[in-house]
Amino acid sequence: MKKNIVVVASIIIAFGAIIGLAKACAPKSDVSQEAVSTQKIAKQKKNKTKHKNTKADSDILRPYKDPKDLRKAGTWNKKSETKKHPKISPTEKDLTLRVSLEGNRTYLLRKGKVIYTMLSTGGIYKKGKSLTQTGTYTIQAGRGDSFFNYNLNEGANNWTSWSPDNVYLFHSVPTKGDGSYNMKEAAKLGRTQGSHGCIRLSVPDSKWLMDNIPDGTKVVIKDH
């Protein structure tokens, strides 16, 4: 009888060991793997959502249509929109000038929202690259009523610099040697590229920009 009890006990212990070993070596269940995948997906979505709220997005112009009151391309002697220019504080820090070279538009954004759209003309494209440098810059203290480049036989009025050496500027449509505006070049405003690297604006827009945009305002220039 004792022998039988010992045999049965041995069998039970052995069977338990086999079950324990099987559990220890078995892979994780599909449910566990699915839970891990779900957590990863949720984390990825959370990261994407978090990214959408970063300050860097202020540099990205989301799909945007021209305002209804934007004047037609080529209008160089009037402000680009029929409404008044925005009021800006000299110490305002939440502004960005966003230039689309291929779109021939310059947007003024406040806290990432477009508050004014300007017809503009950037650098000519050569071998797929614009003569206007793309990137992020800031408005400099350099400003002036007019200039004339004898090497290019071209000048402009109302200039505001966005490069430390005052080489790259926002300014009016170009002027000739006698000070008159170049009608052929002015007609390109808002239509196509034509400058040697600067950003051309209408005469009133360039004057308003020169008089009102604060030093240090971010300037973001992109192809699209």
Beta strand pairing status for 135-138 and 129-130?
Answer: unpaired
Best CA proximity match to 158, nearest among 204, 213, 105: 204
Compute the distance between CA of residue 190 and CA of residue 20 in angstroms, rounded to an integer: 77
Chain-centroid distance, C-alpha 169: 19
Give whole-number Cα distances, 171 to 57, 116, 135, 160, 222, in Å.
27, 17, 19, 6, 18
Compute the distance between CA of residue 139 and CA of residue 96 in angstroms, rounded to an integer: 10
198 is catalytic: yes
> Quick check: 123 and 130 in contact, CB under 8 A?
yes
Kindly report the three-state secondary structure assignment for every residue of 99-167.
EECCCCEEEEEECCEEEEEEEEECECEECCEECCCCEEEECCCCEEEEEEECCCCEEEEEEEECCCCCC
The residue annotated as part of the active site, out of 25, 51, 198, 224, is 198
Torsional class of 61: left (φ above 0), alpha (ψ -120 to 50), beta (otherwise): beta
The residue annotated as part of the active site, out of 25, 85, 171, 196, is 171
171 is catalytic: yes
Compute the distance between CA of residue 6 and CA of residue 79 in angstroms, rounded to an integer: 103
So which residues are the catalytic ones? Answer: 171, 198
